[in-house]
Amino acid sequence: MATIATDRTLPRRRAAGRTRAVLEALREAPLAAVIILGALVLVAILADVIAPHDPTVPVKGANVFDPPFWMEGGSVTTPLGTDFQGRDILSRLIHGARVSLIVGLMGTLVAGSIGTAMGIVAGYVGGWADQIIMRVTDAWLALPAIVFAIFLAAMIGPSMWNIVVILGAVYWTRYARVIRGEVLTLREREFVKLAEIAGASKLRVIRRHILPNVMNTATVLASLTVGVVIIAEASLSFLGVGVPPPQPAWGLMLSEARPTLMAGQWWLTVFPGFCILLIVLATQLFGDWLRVKLDPQLRNL
């Protein structure tokens, strides 16, 4: 594994310069990933405007289980067909993008914030704080993420925001472990030592010197977690412990499609799954690119 020295001691750029740098960097990002993600974000934001029908109410005049428009019996008013209640699949998919993106991004944000904070405390404060945080991390990592999430969701009850909290609670441990490792080496670096000798408080050292230097790693981890969280949400919704009906979540749509699979009504199963595949693929591509861009040391992770 190549270890390329990254210059972490550069003076921090001002906010405006930073935004421009981010935009510059995005231009080199994989085109497919940026287009897919951009389109999905737009669709999620504009869901109310572009969805042809209300996603939770049956379409007037449509039957249940109408096929897509190119098949016999399909109609252009419901281009991708209707579900078991006669609701428009396309509209549900469009609104489902919103659920997936909110849960994916917010869940990652919760996990990343808790994990980064815990990792910094464990690594920088050390001692008992370190012992306690790392032992809890070990214990929580011992459960397969999906089993832990199902367990928590079953105990706490289904709602979209509960799922955000639950997935945050499940996935923070991954961040804590990696960030702690980074902080352990940062702690020994000269600029941290000098700040301490100059009399900076622990809080100030963390805010000014530690946090900015672990942000790259945290960002890379976050970009790779979004897809995992989206699949986890879909899995929970599929099992009936995630986003409750009649909300249009892709995992829930797959679960509602299950009884029709035997009848060969494939569109109910194929479309929502394909949406999940697309969004996760795009976040993975984007995350891989970001990993190489921001932190060469993580290339083999």
Partner 1 sequence: MLQFILRRVAYSIVTLFILSATIFLIVRLTGDPVALMAEASARPEDLERIRHQWGLDRSWPVQYVTFMQNAFKGELGKSFNYRLPVSELYFQRLPNSLTLGFAATLISVLIGVPAGIISAVKVNSAWDNVAKGVALLGLSIPGFWLGLVLILVFSVWLRWLPTSGSGDWRHVVMPALALGWYFAASMLRLTRSSMLEVLGSEYIKLARLKGLPDVVVIAMHAFKNALIPVFTLAGVNLVVMVNAAVIIEVIFAWPGIGRLLYEGIFQRDFPLVQGVVIMAGFMIVAINLVVDVLYAVIDPRIRLTR
Residues that bind partner 1 (CB under 8 A): 1, 135-136, 138-140, 142-148, 150-152, 154-156, 227, 231, 234-235, 238-241, 254, 257-258, 261-262, 264, 266, 269-270, 273, 276-277, 280-281, 284-285, 288, 300
Q: 59-80: string of b/e by CB count within 10 Å (b at 16+)?
A: beebeebbbbeeeeebbeebeb
**Measured from the CB of residue 293, what is the shortest distance to partner 1 in angstroms?**
17
| Alpha carbon distance 237, 251 (integer Å) | 5
* Residue among 94 and 285 whose Cβ is closer to partner 1: 285
* Residue among 59 and 83 whose Cβ is closer to partner 1: 83
Cβ distance 78 to 55 under 8 Å?
no
Sign of CA dihedral 222, 48, 153, 241: negative
Using left for φ > 0, alpha for ψ between -120 and 50, and beta otherwise, residue 4 falls in: beta
* Residue among 1 and 5 whose Cβ is closer to partner 1: 1
- The length of the chain, given as a count of residues: 301
**Measured from the CB of residue 138, what is the shortest distance to partner 1 in angstroms?**
5
Nearest CA to 239 out of 254, 225, 260 is that of 254
* Residue among 161 and 266 whose Cβ is closer to partner 1: 266
**Measured from the CB of residue 144, what is the shortest distance to partner 1 in angstroms?**
4
* Residue among 170 and 183 whose Cβ is closer to partner 1: 170
Nearest CA to 91 out of 126, 120, 62 is that of 62
| Alpha carbon distance 295, 218 (integer Å) | 10
**Measured from the CB of residue 10, what is the shortest distance to partner 1 in angstroms?**
30
* Residue among 53 and 238 whose Cβ is closer to partner 1: 238
**Measured from the CB of residue 261, what is the shortest distance to partner 1 in angstroms?**
6
**Measured from the CB of residue 104, what is the shortest distance to partner 1 in angstroms?**
13
